[in-house]
Amino acid sequence: MIGWTMPDVHRDTKPIGEIAWHLGVGTALLAVMACRIAWRATHQPPPHNLPNAMRAISALTHGALYMLLLAVPLLGWINASSRAWAVKLGGLVALPSLSTVGSSLGHAMGDVHSALAWALLVLIGLHITAALYHRFVLRDGALQRMMP
């Protein structure tokens, strides 16, 4: 994932190079997620017949993936604003600032951003493992549903 291109930042680091890349790709992902959620809200997938426990775990994991995919870039944006960094959608379109420069909230959200990014990585690993489990152990076609 893009997040791990983020080099260590310090108080007076300037948002250029890899950091500009991180912000550009991260905000583009946020835009993609907005489209995805709008699509998903209006298009229900066909029902699947899984045992209840598995259905609950799946709903929990997918819900958490959606939440983190929104929260992680948003919190990064808040932190970037508190550093007075220009945040541009895809590195091109200037976006507004989400917190005042030097705000303690913005500072704290930087740490939350990094921590939740790790949680997201773990969930993605769990999610891919589950997809492979369905494909090769249960052989129940859960993966094929993703692929038209």
The footprint of ligand HEM (CB under 6 A) covers: 1-4, 6, 8-9, 22-23, 26-27, 29-30, 40, 45, 48, 62, 65-66, 69, 72-73, 76-77, 79-80, 87, 110, 113-114, 117, 120, 124, 127-128, 131, 142-143, 145-146
Phi-psi region of 94 (alpha: psi -120 to 50; beta: other; left: phi over 0): beta
Q: Tell me how far, at minimum, the Cβ of 19 lies from ligand HEM, in Å.
A: 7
For the chain, report the end-to-end CA distance as a whole number of angstroms.
Answer: 25
Minimum separation from the CB atom of position 51 to ligand HEM (A): 15
Question: How many whole angstroms separate alpha carbon 116 and alpha carbon 77?
Answer: 14
Residue 103 CB coordination number (10 Å): 15
Nearest to ligand HEM of 3, 99 (CB atom): 3
